[in-house]
Amino acid sequence: MVVSTMPLTAKDYKSEVKPTWCPGCGDFAVLSATFKALADLQLRPEQVVVVSGIGCSSRIPYFCNTYGIHSLHGRALPMATGIKLARPDLTVLAMGGDGDLFSIGAGHFPHAARRNLDILVVCMDNQTYGLTKAQYSPTSFVGHKSKSSPYGTVEWPMNPVLLALAAGASWVARGYSGRPKQLQELIVEGVRHRGFAFLNVQSPCTEFHNTYNYYDARVQDIPKDHDPTDYLSAVRLALPQEKTLLGVFYRSERPVYEEQVRAFEKVKVEFDPDEFLSRYG
């Protein structure tokens, strides 16, 4: 008996819940690219977990026909860590905004990166807090005017790509919602990478910080002669410059955290709690 299966398509990852984002929101492109990337990888929906924190972009698990967890504000990475440790066979995507990942959740990011968990983290970076109606965020440009900075912010913006490199991420890239095909390809590569993969997506907020024209005029692919295994070259390209570079900055291979930790399960440890407590008696 011959059993044939139809290949999965982007529609197979789309839930019945319609996105609640504003028209033109850059997050639509990220969601669509994610569906197409998962179809390219032919991952079954039950093999994937989408984890998020709080914010406009963090509603993304509702829109995916996969396992999903809409967790607490800034806690997508601890949740993703637990899932990957418990079920290393699952593909884990941690997705959120610049405020969620790099403000309240900033303390978790460097540790997840340095541990080299085998997950993909996608930041939908719009340089604003859209859900709470336009306050400046950790990645807002100097001079950005918002409800919380009516005269323009004087704070230097955080550089997520540079932070990921400094923290020890083993795959680092940047995409743009205005280039959906490239975004799809980057998500595919990020999922395939064994280790902590970080993709920062410039995802404009059409309601409170519409940067499509800004990025359309400034985005440029990383030079073709760039060697993504060259860490110092990646750092130089990640530094602020006139153009916003898109593509893979860095790629390296090293052991993943969950495999190293699970190896301890095979180690037999003799432990007598009474003997241990007697030391303090």
The answer to whether the beta carbons of residues 50 and 20 sit under 8 Å apart is no
CATH of the domain at 97: 3.40.50.970
> pTM of this prediction?
0.92
Q: In terms of pLDDT, which residue wins out, 132 or 72? A: 72
Bridge partners, residue 220, by sequence: 245
148 band by pLDDT with thresholds 50, 70 and 90: confident
Mean predicted confidence (pLDDT) in 176-189: 98
Listed in sequence order, the residues at least 6 apart from 270 whose beta carbon sits closer than 8 Å to its beta carbon are none
pLDDT on residue 244: 97
User: Within a domain: residue 2?
Assistant: no
Residue 4 has pLDDT above 70, yes or no: no
Distance, CA of 185 to CA of 122 (rounded, Å): 13
Domain count, the chain: 1
The answer to whether the beta carbons of residues 85 and 129 sit under 8 Å apart is no
Scanning the structure block, which residue is given the tokens 């884990």?
92
User: Within a domain: residue 42?
Assistant: yes
133 band by pLDDT with thresholds 50, 70 and 90: confident
pLDDT on residue 56: 92
In tens, the pLDDT along 255-267 reads: 999 999 888 877 7
What's the one-letter identity of residue 41?
L
| Lowest model confidence (mean pLDDT) among 45-49, 81-85, 149-153 | 149-153
Bridge partners, residue 120, by sequence: 93, 197
pLDDT on residue 32: 98
In tens, the pLDDT along 35-44 reads: 999 999 999 9
User: Within a domain: residue 3?
Assistant: no
Please return the burial class of 142, using the count of CB atoms within 10 Å of its CB with bins 0-12, 13-18 and 19+. Answer: exposed
Distance, CA of 13 to CA of 7 (rounded, Å): 12
User: Within a domain: residue 193?
Assistant: yes
Residue 3 has pLDDT above 70, yes or no: no
Domain interval for residue 120 = 10-278
In tens, the pLDDT along 198-242 reads: 999 999 999 998 999 999 999 999 999 999 999 999 999 999 999
Residue 93 has pLDDT above 90, yes or no: yes
